[in-house]
Amino acid sequence: MKTKKLVFLMLWLALIFLTAPVGVSATEQHEVGHADPIAPVLYGLIVILLAAKLGGEVFERFKQPSVLGELIFGVLLGNLALANINFFDFLRTDDFIDIFARVGVIILLFEVGLESDLKEMKQVGIPSLLVAIAGVIAPLILGYMVSRWFLPAAGTNTHLFIGATLCATSVGITARVFKDLGKLGIPEARIVLGAAVIDDVLGLIILAIISGIINTGSIGLLSISWVTLKAILFLVLAIGIGTYSASTIGKYAAMMQVKGVKTIVALIFAFVLSYLADSVGLSTIVGAFAAGLILEEGHFENFRGDLEVRELIKPISYFLVPIFFVLIGIQVRLETFADVSVLGIAAGLTLAAIVGKQVCGLTVKKEYNRFLIGLAMIPRGEVGLIFASIGKVLGVLSEAVFSAIVIMVIVTTLVTPPVLKFSLKEK
C-alpha cells in the first residue's frame, strides 16, 4: 500500500522532469513563440514553489525560520549544475520569474508595513530609537571597513553598499524566538522589536541615499543631502497625503458593490506608492512599506463581512514572496567559494554583523539586560537580502560578494535562536 503511493508520487515527479524545457529560458521560448509562452513560466513556478515549501518545512521541523529553508533549497537548486543537472539553470536568468519575484518583494514589504504601527513605534520611544541608531551606524562602519580590507580594488560605492546590507535587523526572526519562549512581554523584547521596526525605516533611508549616490555618480555633500531630503520628503508626503486619502478612498470603496474591492484597493495602494517611490528615484520597496504603514484596518471599517486586509493579502503573499527568496538562493554561485578570499569576506561580514549589533546594548540603561539586547539584534533577514539583490542589479556587488552576503544572512539567522534561548534561560 505504501509503495503504491510512493510509485504514484514518483510518477508525478517523473512526468514533471521528463517534460522540462531543458536549457530554454521562458524569455527565449516566448520570442520563438513555439509553445504556449506560459509553459516554461509554469514549470519555473512549480519548481520554485515546491522547493520553497519543502525547504521551509524541513527548517520548521528543526525549529528554524522557514525563510532559511527557502534560501538554502534555492542555493541547492541553483547549483545542481555543479552535479551536471541543468534542468533549472534557466531560472537564474528568466525575466518572467524575476518579475514575479519583484512583485513578491513589494507584497512582502507591504505586509511588513501593515504589521508595523506608527503609534506603537512612538510608544516604545527613546530607548528603541537609540538602540536602532546604534545598531545601524556600527554595522555600517564595520561593514565598510571589512569591505575595504578584503576588496581594496573596489570603489567607495561597493564599500558603502556592503555596509548598508548589514544594517537592518530581521523583526520576524527575533519576534518569533521571544514569542516561542513566552517572553514577548519583557521590556528588552519590546525595546528590541521597536528598534527592529525603526531599523527597517532607517535601512530604507540609507538604501535610498546610497542608491542615489550610485545613480548620480558623485558623493558630494550636496548630493547626499538632496537624496536624504528626497527620501524623507517622500516618506513624510506619502504618509501625510496617504493617511488622508486612505480614509477617503476606504469610504468610497466601501460603497462599491463589485467583488474583491477591498483586496484590489489595497493592492493598487501598494502598487501606486511603490511606483511613485521609483519615480522619485527611491526603491519601490520604500513605497510598499509606506503603503503598509498607512493602510490601517480602520480605513476599511465600513466593509461588510470581508476579511482584514492582511488576511486578504496572505494568499497572494504565500504565492509570490517565496519566489523572491528561492530566487535569491538560486543566484548564489557556490563555485565563487572556490576562491578562498570569498570565504574570508563571508566570515568578515558575519563577524561585523554580529559585533556591530553588540553596541546596541550599550545605549540603554544598566537595569536592562544589555547583552540580551545585543544578541536579539543579530539576525539579518529579508531587508539585507533585498539590499543585496538591488546592489547586484546596480552593478556594485559582484557575484562573489553577493554570495558572501547571503551566507552572512544565513549564519546570523541560524545562530541567533539558540544563543538567544540560552541567554534568556540563563537570566
Residues constituting the chain: 427
Scanning 35-43, 81-89, 147-155, 170-178 for contacts with its own copies by CB under 8 A, the matching segment is 35-43
Instruction: Yes or no: say if 344 and 408 are a contact pair by the CB < 8 Å rule.
Output: no
Q: Contact between 28 and its own copies (CB under 8 A)? A: no
Q: Rounded to the nearest whole angstrom, what is the least distance from the CB of residue 160 to its own copies in the complex?
A: 19
Instruction: Give the nearer residue to its own copies in terms of CB position, either 157 or 358.
Output: 157
Decide if residue 87 touches its own copies (CB under 8 A): no
257 binds its own copies (CB under 8 A): yes
Among the residue ranges 56-64, 142-150, 153-161, 372-380, the one whose residues contact its own copies (CB under 8 A): 56-64
Q: How far is the CB of 18 from its own copies (least distance, A)?
A: 9
Q: Is the dihedral angle over the CA atoms 75, 81, 84, 89 positive or is it negative?
A: positive
Contacting residue, 73, 88, 90, 96, with its own copies by CB under 8 A: 96
Q: Say whether residue 239 binds its own copies (CB under 8 A).
A: no
From 76, 136, 313, 364, residue interacting with its own copies (rule: CB under 8 A): 313
Provide CB contacts within 8 A for 297, sequence distance 6+: 308, 309
Nearest CB to its own copies, comparing residues 245 and 423: 245
Contacts of 379 (CB under 8 A, 6+ apart): 169, 170, 173, 174, 412, 413, 416
Three-state DSSP class for residue 169: strand
Count, residues near its own copies per rule CB under 8 A: 70
Pick 45 or 206: Cβ nearer its own copies: 45
Which of 263, 341, 398, 423 contacts its own copies by CB under 8 A? 263
From 131-139, 154-162, 278-286, 373-381, span contacting its own copies (CB under 8 A)? 278-286
Cα(326)–Cα(115) distance, integer angstroms: 23
Question: Per CB under 8 A, does 324 bind its own copies?
Answer: no
Which residues have CB under 8 Å from 101's CB, separation 6+? 320, 323, 324, 327
Helix 309-330 to helix 261-279 angle (10° resolution) is: 50
Tell which one of 193, 312, 332, 420 touches its own copies (CB under 8 A).
312
Name the E strands within 227-377: none
Q: Is 246 in the site for its own copies (CB under 8 A)?
A: no
Is the distance from CB of 88 to CB of 25 less than 8 angstroms? no
User: Does residue 272 belong to the site contacting its own copies (CB under 8 A)?
Assistant: yes
Q: Rounded to whole angstroms, how far apart are CA atoms 343 and 341?
A: 5
Nearer to its own copies, 50 or 343 (CB): 50
Residue 264 makes contact with its own copies by CB under 8 A = yes
Of the candidate spans 85-93, 144-152, 166-174, 314-322, the one that interacts with its own copies by CB under 8 A turns out to be 314-322
Q: Is residue 195 within 8 Å of 132, Cβ to Cβ?
A: yes
When binding is defined by CB under 8 A, the residue of 175, 278, 337, 414 that contacts its own copies is 278
Report helix angle 340-362 to 118-150, nearest 10: 140
Q: Which of 64, 283, 358, 369 binds its own copies (CB under 8 A)?
A: 283
Site stretch for its own copies (CB under 8 A), options 95-103, 184-192, 334-342, 400-408:
95-103
Contacts of 12 (CB under 8 A, 6+ apart): none
Per the listing, cell 536592562 goes with 368
- The verdict on 254 binding its own copies (CB under 8 A) reads no
Q: Which contacts qualify for 178-185: CB closer than 8 Å, 24 or more apart?
A: 178/376, 178/420, 180/63, 181/421, 181/424, 183/424
The span of 32-40, 122-130, 133-141, 419-427 binding its own copies (CB under 8 A) equals: 32-40
Q: Of the two residues 222 and 258, which places its CB atom closer to its own copies in the complex?
A: 258
Report whether 17 contacts 7 (CB < 8 A). Answer: no
| Residue that the C-alpha cell 483586496 belongs to | 263
Determine the Cα–Cα distance for residues 20 and 22; give it in Å rounded to an integer.
5
The candidate with the shortest Cα–Cα distance to 331, out of 117, 124, 81, is 81
What is the residue whose three cell numbers read 515527479?
13
Least separation in angstroms between CB 395 and its own copies:
10
Binding site for its own copies (CB under 8 A): 5, 8-9, 11-12, 15-16, 19, 30, 35-39, 41-43, 45-46, 49-50, 52-53, 56-57, 60-61, 66, 69, 95-96, 98-99, 102-103, 106, 241, 244-245, 248, 256-261, 263-265, 267-268, 271-272, 274-276, 278-279, 283-284, 312-319, 322, 393
